[in-house]
Amino acid sequence: MPHYLLHLHDTQFDTYNEEGFEAPDLAAARLIAKSSIWDVFAEEALRSKLDFRGYIDIADANGRIFDSIPFKDAFTILGL
């Protein structure tokens, strides 16, 4: 099974994951990345602040980036 790393980039800091996770394919890795974004926003919601300017890179141990997911693409936003 492929091994992926998630690297979070937002306006305040960059966090590079060194442990990573295994997923059957890139589609599954994308779902895990979106779940990580949801976790970030759960913390931000507690502070009444949602900053959509960041993104998560899905990479391998060699630094090859397979995909980048902007925070805004992890949500369906209604009523704005």
> Does residue 71 surpass a pLDDT of 90?
yes
Q: What is the pLDDT of residue 62?
A: 92
**4 — pLDDT class (breaks 50, 70, 90):** very high
Longest dimension (CA), the chain: 42
pLDDT (average), residues 13-34: 95
- The domain spans of the chain are 3-74
Q: Which of 27, 5, 25, 29 is nearest to 17 (CA)?
A: 5
Q: What are phi and psi of 9, to 5 degrees?
A: -130, 120
pLDDT (average), residues 41-47: 93
**80 — pLDDT class (breaks 50, 70, 90):** confident
Q: What are phi and psi of 32, to 5 degrees?
A: -65, -40
pTM for the structure as a whole: 0.89
Q: How many CB atoms lie within 10 A of CB 38?
A: 12
Per the structure block, which two tokens stand in for 48?
Answer: 């009444």
